[in-house]
């Protein structure tokens, strides 16, 4: 039997549940801060920081440090690349799930 | 967090997060109450006062959100609709409500009678405000916004049937009849939000 392609080969960066949730939240809003992302995803501070760094490294989100008065506020936004990656991931997974029904 | 989750549900919850504090209902109640009172006191200034309240009132709401909402659930900005979609929706609903008001006057019989136009005015306010709340329900996903939309349309038609047309009392009653339940819903929403979302301890920034 020849080599068969793997049935599931998703974008690993998006496939991780924490990062997928982060991308989904940022896909739904224009921009959000750290607390909002924590509240919506249920991730801990450490996990959230780690995931956002990876997503920023891949160019999927952009991070902006700002101040509201004297209080620092880090703002997160989904980039066009991130939106495309999420869209492609969804299409890929829908195709995979459709193929096994 | 759980491994099993629905991406669409995560997106929906994020989109609706801004509607759970009850402030939009309180703001709407304040606007409608102000317009109703202005209609009683100085009807000539209603347009200007309404525009000022909507323009500057929203800034007050944003300030309240900064003090009440964002420290509890975090800051975020909703993704806006495309401007042409919003404009098309508003114009469509205005045209529908205007058309229904004209229809109500025609049904009444005499389109040259000014009192028939005053009597039918709640139809226009009822349907146009119903459009606003239906749109809000589409964004928030809250049944209560859908119920307010239906209530607005129904009370608008009902007031057309029972108003005398001697003055704009039908519109004033319609606005008051919406402002009071909206104020109650908003107050309940805010109290519930404050109870279920305590202030976060310690630093909350990345």
- Residue-wise pLDDT tens digits, A44-100: 999 999 999 999 999 999 999 988 888 888 999 999 999 999 999 988 888 777 776
Provide the pairing of β-strand A29-33 with A61-68. Answer: unpaired
Test A33 with B66 for CB contact under 8 angstroms: no
| A41 contacts in chain B (CB < 8 Å) | 1, 10
| Local confidence band at B2 (pLDDT 50, 70, 90 cut-offs) | very low
For residue B159, how far is the Cα from the chain centroid? 19
Give yes or no for residue B96 having a pLDDT over 70: yes
Q: Which of A24, A33, A72 sits opposite B7 (nearest CB)?
A: A24
**Residue A6 DSSP one-character state:** P
Test B76 with A31 for CB contact under 8 angstroms: yes
| A45 contacts in chain B (CB < 8 Å) | 206
Instruction: Give the burial class of B147: count Cβ atoms within 10 A of its Cβ; 0-12 exposed, 13-18 middle, 19 or more buried.
Output: middle
Phi then psi for residue A18, to 5 deg, are -65, -45
How close A33 gets to chain B, by Cα (Å)? 5
The pLDDT of residue B41: 85
**Region B136-146 average pLDDT:** 92
Test B204 with A43 for CB contact under 8 angstroms: no
Lowest mean pLDDT among A22-36, B123-137, B159-173: B159-173
Test B17 with A38 for CB contact under 8 angstroms: no
H/E/C letters for each residue in A9-72?
A: CCCHHHHCHHHHHHHHHHHHEEEEEHHHHHHHHCCCHHHHHHHHHHHHHCCCEEEEEEEECCEE
Q: Which of B12, B79, B204 sits opposite A30 (nearest CB)?
A: B79
Share of chain B above pLDDT 90, in %: 48
SS3 B129: helix
Between A32 and B48, whose confidence is greater?
A: A32
| Local confidence band at B23 (pLDDT 50, 70, 90 cut-offs) | very high
| B200 contacts in chain A (CB < 8 Å) | 35
Using CA coordinates, name the residue in chain B closest to A20.
B7
Using CA coordinates, name the residue in chain B closest to A25.
B11
At A62, list the tokens.
């952009």
ipTM metric: 0.82
Mean pLDDT over all residues of chain B?
Answer: 88
């Amino acid at each position: 039997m020849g080599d068969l392609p793997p049935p599931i080969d998703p974008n690993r960066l998006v496939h991780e549940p924490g990062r997928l949730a982060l991308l989904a939240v940022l896909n739904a809003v224009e921009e959000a801060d750290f607390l909002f992302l924590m509240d919506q995803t249920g991730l801990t501070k450490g996990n959230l920081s780690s995931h956002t760094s990876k997503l920023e490294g891949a160019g999927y989100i952009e991070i902006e440090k700002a101040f509201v008065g004297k209080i620092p506020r880090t703002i997160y936004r989904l980039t066009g690349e991130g939106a495309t990656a999420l869209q492609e991931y969804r299409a890929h997974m829908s195709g995979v799930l459709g193929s096994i029904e | 967090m759980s491994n099993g989750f629905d991406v669409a549900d995560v997106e929906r919850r994020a989109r609706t997060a801004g509607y759970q504090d009850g402030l939009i209902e309180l703001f709407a109640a304040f606007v409608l109450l102000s317009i109703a009172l202005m209609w009683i006191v100085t009807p000539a200034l209603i347009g200007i006062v309404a525009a000022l309240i909507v323009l500057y009132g929203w800034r007050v709401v944003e300030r309240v959100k900064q003090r009440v909402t964002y420290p509890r659930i975090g800051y975020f900005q909703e993704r806006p609709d495309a401007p042409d979609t919003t404009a098309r929706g508003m114009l469509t609903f205005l045209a529908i409500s205007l058309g229904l008001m004209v229809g109500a006057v025609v049904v009444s019989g005499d389109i040259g009678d000014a009192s028939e136009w005053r009597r039918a005015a709640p139809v226009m306010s009822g349907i146009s405000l119903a459009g606003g709340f239906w749109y809000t329900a589409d964004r928030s996903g809250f049944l209560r916004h859908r119920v307010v939309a239906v209530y607005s349309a129904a009370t608008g038609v009902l007031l057309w049937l029972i108003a005398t047309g001697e003055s704009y009392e039908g519109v004033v009653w319609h606005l008051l009849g919406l402002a009071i339940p909206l104020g109650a819903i908003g107050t309940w929403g805010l109290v519930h939000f404050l109870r279920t979302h305590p202030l976060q301890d310690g630093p909350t920034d990345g």
